[in-house]
């Protein structure tokens, strides 16, 4: 990615970073509320998602204006198109954080983390927060090592996602249907959040290196069932 | 939406329709295989998803070329940007059809539809196929009545999605953890497929009428638990 941006491209980049920061705050609050049963924190995530949505709309409008007024070509054009895609992914990440917060509110005053999966979900939450913070920094700096770290964190989340299924489908699982459903859905939310982050990281990588692999961004994920 | 397209916009529209047709075929095969346990059909869906991915990449490249070469403004610009978003949604719908097919393959030689939910999932499958066919026609004709029909079908799928949860969380559910997990994930796939179709229909509606509500395209869906 070019180091010297036109003013408008710098504006687009700044707004992407701003939205990524809001998403990082949202996932931090959401995963904390999920682990602790803090419904007030969950309510903040739910109401603040509207701000993420508004800023995404504003960013998209800015990108469209830029296309219309400045009619960028070549690399600049790809940056603007990539920004439109990244904003859609960031908005979806905000929605996922909101879904996690909704679990907390739904299960209150009980905790939302299903029995026997506390350490797993705590770790998945930590990784999602790390991912979101690294993503914000990547969008700010284009330091491609961060893209690599994001993909490694995603690999670990995928493994934890498999472990959730191993647990709920295993012989020692004592959870009722409600906990089975909660674990299944929640695990998928944490995993999809990471997938979106990887998708954005790949786009940044592409813009920097010309290596186009955007359309493997959502890897085909076999339902993560252990062999049985 | 303008009735007379520039040649390039017509090309973009034609390719969107082509991808939508492939998605409609995919969901038809996937839901049929899911209901009947036809693993050969499932394998077709899984391998054919690569074609949907390739055509999406080609469409995106065409859209970018159009932006670079013709530098459209105003309504034409919005059409091209909308096409980029619609292609991303269509690709995701293809992935979801593939996930449903993967269930079939995973559970073979048993059927993938969990006990006691056969009529529900059969109906959800029918609705998703209808949705995909109406979507293809909508992209071809811009007949906004189809957009309305798509939203109605989505409403019915949402109700069926709630009913799946009522069943697996209710007193009469005799399914084991595996079936609970299968029902939860599969229902979510059928429901997300419909959400993406609605998202595309809203964009077509916007382009035709100027009524912009794209960013409510993925409605916040409270985990569909009945009151208990």
What residues have CB less than 8 Å from A166, skipping those under 6 apart? A226
Confidence of residue B212 (pLDDT cuts 50, 70, 90): low
Which of B73, B175, B181 minimises the CB distance to A184? B181
Contact by Cβ (8 Å): B101, B35: no
In the three-class reduction of DSSP (H, G, I as helix; E, B as strand; rest coil), residue B165 is classed as helix
Q: How far is A180 from chain B (nearest CA, A)?
A: 7
Determine the pLDDT at residue A158.
Answer: 96
At B96, the pLDDT band (50, 70, 90 cuts) reads very high
Q: Which residue has the higher pLDDT, B222 or A101?
A: A101
Q: How many CB atoms lie within 10 A of CB A16?
A: 25
Average pLDDT score over residue span B39-55: 97
Q: What is this structure's pTM?
A: 0.85
Q: Cα–Cα distance between B203 and B191 in angstroms, integer?
A: 19
Provide the pLDDT for residue A220. Answer: 38
Q: Which domains can be identified in chain A, with CATH numbers? A: 2-209 (1.20.58.220)
Q: What are the tokens at B132?
A: 């995909």
Q: How far is B4 from chain A (nearest CA, A)?
A: 21
> Residue A40 above 60 pLDDT?
yes
| Helix ranges restricted to H, chain A | 7-36, 39-70, 74-107, 118-141, 144-168, 177-209
Q: How far apart are CA A191 and CA A154, in angstroms?
A: 8
Question: Would the CB atoms of B221 and A99 count as touching at under 8 Å?
Answer: yes
The verdict on a CB contact (< 8 Å) between A180 and B185 is no
Tens of pLDDT along B115-150? 889 999 999 999 999 999 999 999 999 999 999 999
Task: Report whether pLDDT(A221) > 50.
Answer: no
Rounded to the nearest integer, the mean pLDDT of chain A is 88
């Amino acid at each position: 990615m070019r180091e010297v941006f036109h003013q408008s491209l710098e504006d687009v980049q700044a707004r992407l970073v701003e939205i990524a920061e809001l998403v990082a705050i949202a996932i931090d609050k959401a995963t904390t509320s999920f682990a602790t049963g803090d419904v007030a924190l969950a309510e903040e995530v739910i109401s603040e998602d509207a701000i993420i949505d508004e800023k995404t709309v504003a960013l998209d409008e800015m990108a469209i204006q830029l296309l219309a007024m400045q009619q960028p070509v070549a690399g600049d054009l790809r940056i603007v198109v990539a920004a439109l895609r990244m904003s859609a992914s960031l908005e979806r990440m905000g929605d996922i954080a909101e879904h996690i917060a909704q679990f907390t509110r739904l299960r209150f005053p009980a905790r939302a983390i299903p029995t026997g999966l506390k350490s797993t979900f705590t770790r998945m939450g930590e990784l999602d927060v790390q991912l979101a913070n690294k993503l914000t920094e990547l969008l700010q700096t284009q330091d491609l090592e961060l893209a690599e770290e994001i993909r490694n964190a995603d690999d670990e989340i995928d493994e934890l996602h498999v472990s959730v299924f191993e647990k709920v489908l295993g012989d020692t699982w004592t959870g009722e249907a409600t906990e089975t459903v909660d674990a299944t859905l929640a695990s998928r939310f944490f995993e999809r959040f990471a997938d979106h982050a990887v998708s954005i990281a790949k786009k940044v990588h592409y813009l920097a290196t010309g290596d186009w692999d955007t359309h493997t961004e959502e890897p085909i994920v076999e339902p993560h069932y252990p062999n049985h």
